[in-house]
Structure 1
Amino acid sequence: MENQIKNALSDLKQLLGKGEFMAAMEKYLADDVVLQEANNEPKVGKEVCLQAERELLATVTHFGKYEMKNIAVGGDTSYYEAVMEFTTNDGTEHHFEQVNRTQWRDGKIVNERYFHA
């Protein structure tokens, strides 16, 4: 299981690094996924998460970067640090640093939470 997760994370690192967020989500989110940003209400279900991402990406005018580092896998859970930079259509430059905690089932993400710095 851990090797399967490590392979998926390697692929995700490539996809996200190129800004291919929708492709990554389509490929790796389970239908019953739960995604949660910090202490916000979780988003439940792949379609809900995809729609929220489409709405966010519609505001992005420039993608700077998405870096994954310090990846760790144990059992069905992975952790990594992420740095993301992008500009939105209101001219705001965003810089996020976060830790992602992900639970996997059958090669798909079933639960993910983002802890922001």
Structure 2
Amino acid sequence: MTLEDKLIDLNNMILKGEILQSMDKYYHPDCVVIEKNDVVAKGLQQAKDRESSVFEGVEAWLKSEIKSTAVGENVTMTEWHFEYKHKEYGHKNFDQVAVQHWKDGKIMSDRFYALY
């Protein structure tokens, strides 16, 4: 499976709402997740816990759309558009770029750049 194949599968899992399953499949146990220049999770379990806590408050998922993707040497990127209603954060409608750095077939770091 090529890196491009893995990115396509990862993104399809996300589009189907299989986010935690995609993390189990593709994230390295020692991964880091970075948002707004801060490490927000260290390790797969912490990354999954963080993702779960965000989705607990989602009242309605309105849209997930891939705008573009790119694949380089051990790096992948996806430009997303998301829209949802959250009980704490209100109506969220934004674009985000996710950049993954891969090692040995797994994501070692996942960095999010969001435009709100």
TM-score by length of 2: 0.88
TM-superposed deviation, 1:90: 4.1
1:102 corresponding residue in structure 2: 100
Shift of residue 112, structure 1, vs aligned partner = 1.2
SS of the residue aligned with 1:41?
strand
Q: Structure 1 or 2: larger strand share?
A: 2
Aligned-residue offset at 1:38? 2.0
For the pair 1:59 / 2:85, whether they are aligned, the reply is no
How many residues align? The count is: 115
Shift of 1:79: 1.6
SS at 2:49 equivalent: helix
Which residue of structure 2 aligns with residue 48 of structure 1? 46
Deviation for aligned residue 1:91: 7.4
Any unmatched runs of 5+ in structure 1?
Answer: none
Q: Unaligned 5+ residue runs, structure 2?
A: none
SS in structure 1 at match of 2:17:
coil
8 Å Cα contact 1:100/1:115 also seen in 2: yes
Return the offset for 1:37.
1.1
More contact order relative to length (CA 8 Å, sep ≥ 6): 1
Amino acid paired to 1:72: A
TM-score, structure 1 length as denominator?
Answer: 0.87
- 5 Å-filtered alignment, 1:1-117, equals 4-90=2-88, 92-117=90-115
List per-residue Cα deviations over 1:61-105 (Å, max 9, x = no partner): 111222223211111011221111111124711112111111012
- 1:9-30 per-position Cα deviation (integer Å, ceiling 9, x unaligned): 1112211112221111121111
